[in-house]
Structure 1
Amino acid sequence: MGNFSLIISETSKAHDIARAFIDIKIANTDITILKLLLNKVLLDSDLSPDQIQQKISEKNSTKEDFINKIMKNINNNELTTVELASKLEKQSKKENLDNQRRIDSTKRQVILENISKEEIKRYSYLEPKINIILDNYSVHKSQLVKEICEILNMNLIYLPPYSPQFNPIEQVWRTCKIEIKRKYYESKEKLEKFFVKTYFKVVNGGNFFNWWEKLNSFILIKRLFLTKVSNT
């Protein structure tokens, strides 16, 4: 059991999940300097749209290089007209400052650069490891999330596939959907308050922690068994 930390983000992309784990670490460390370092990571990683575009533009090809790439494709006689048009479109999108994939990639890179400091890892490992139980959503298994959790001394424990009984959020969604069908919430803030209230009601009324404890014991036994088998 640890201290509570609730993060509601606009998206659930890898860089948002990474920020959430940093918040969890901040809420569960007693090391003041580590709190300061991690808060600085969050602050320095919170770039404005203009700052993100500036970083992307710094990586863009020069005008001369871009023209050379275009001409190389144009002079490729093996390409059909459709193939040429497709390649030119992709090259143009790649240089676009509003390319969402490049924006997300830049956000991932910035947060990893800011947290990849030996000082942060050293202080994180002075305290007991934090176990994070989460579902198999693909972003939870992203390389960024794994690297962030390695630095923060966090252990990722994934729930078995198709096991909503272990996941309180599934029960929360089910309860919320039933209520929302009956009542209209006129603002985002009221809807968020309702969600938080429902979350605690479901979690405190269930036995998720007992299930997680049994699940963790099962995982440890399975690892020991697999280790023993591999050594024979």
Structure 2
Amino acid sequence: MVGAQMPVFVVVDGHHPTHKAKLVREYVEQQRGKLRLLCFPPYSPQLNHYEQVWAHVKRQASRQFVQSIDEMKRMALGAFRRIQKPPKLIRSFFSQLECQYAAM
């Protein structure tokens, strides 16, 4: 955390074993408070703004009929590209009360 004046907070999936590994815990301790991990509860999609993005893509996908994996990939990539364009849509993923922590 070279140069950081205040602690750096990293939000991690509280369920994933990597985030609880001894090596990670030791590294965080070595940073002496300059790095802090904030863990999501084990299953908490409502707190994860990425889940809002996935839900949007899934809604788009459910409206289309696909017949192959390649077609599915094209559809999903198209949905992700469309998300990148309108700032209002991107902001909406952070508008839920549970996700507002990430918009700070």
Aligned equivalents of 1:186, 1:133: Cα separation in 2: 31
Matches within 5 A, 1:212-227: none
Would the aligned equivalents of 1:130 and 1:155 in 2 still touch at CA under 8 Å?
Answer: yes
| 1:98-126 per-position Cα deviation (integer Å, ceiling 9, x unaligned) | xxxxxxxxxxxxxxxxxxxxxxx6xx265
Quote the Cα distance in structure 2 between the aligned partners of 1:163 and 1:154: 23
SS in 1 for 2:9: strand
Structure 2: runs of 5 or more not aligned:
66-70
Tell me: higher relative CO, structure 1 or 2? Use CA pairs within 8 A at least 6 residues apart: 2
Q: How does 1:146-161 map to 2 (within 5 A)?
A: 146-150=25-29, 153-161=34-42
Aligned residue type for 2:47 = F
Q: 1:170 to 1:210 in 2, by over 3 A?
A: same
TM-score, with length taken from structure 2: 0.54
The residue number in structure 2 matching 1:200 is: 90
Q: How does 1:6-45 map to 2 (within 5 A)?
A: none
Tell me which of 54, 72, 75 is aligned to 1:173: 54
SS in 2 for 1:205: coil
Query: 1:204 aligns to what SS in structure 2?
Result: coil
Deviation at 1:133, TM superposition (A): 1.8
Q: Is the 8 A contact 2:94 2:100 kept in 1?
A: no
Partner deviation per Cα, 1:137-196 (whole Å, 9 max, x = no partner) = 2222223433444556320011223332222222222222221232755388x4584386
What SS does structure 1 have at the residue aligned with 2:37?
Answer: strand
Matched, 1:138 2:17: yes
More helix, by proportion: 1
Change in CA separation of 1:168 and 1:200 when aligned onto 2, cut-off 3 Å = same
Q: What SS does the aligned partner of 2:52 have?
A: helix
Letter in 1 for 2:81: F
Report the identity percentage: 22
Corresponding residue SS for 2:74: coil
Q: Which amino acid aligns with 1:209?
A: Q
Q: 1:151 to 1:164 in 2, by over 3 A?
A: same
Which structure: greater strand fraction?
Answer: 2
Q: CA deviation at 1:128?
A: 0.6
**How many aligned positions are there?**
90
Gaps of 5+ in 1: 1-120, 214-232
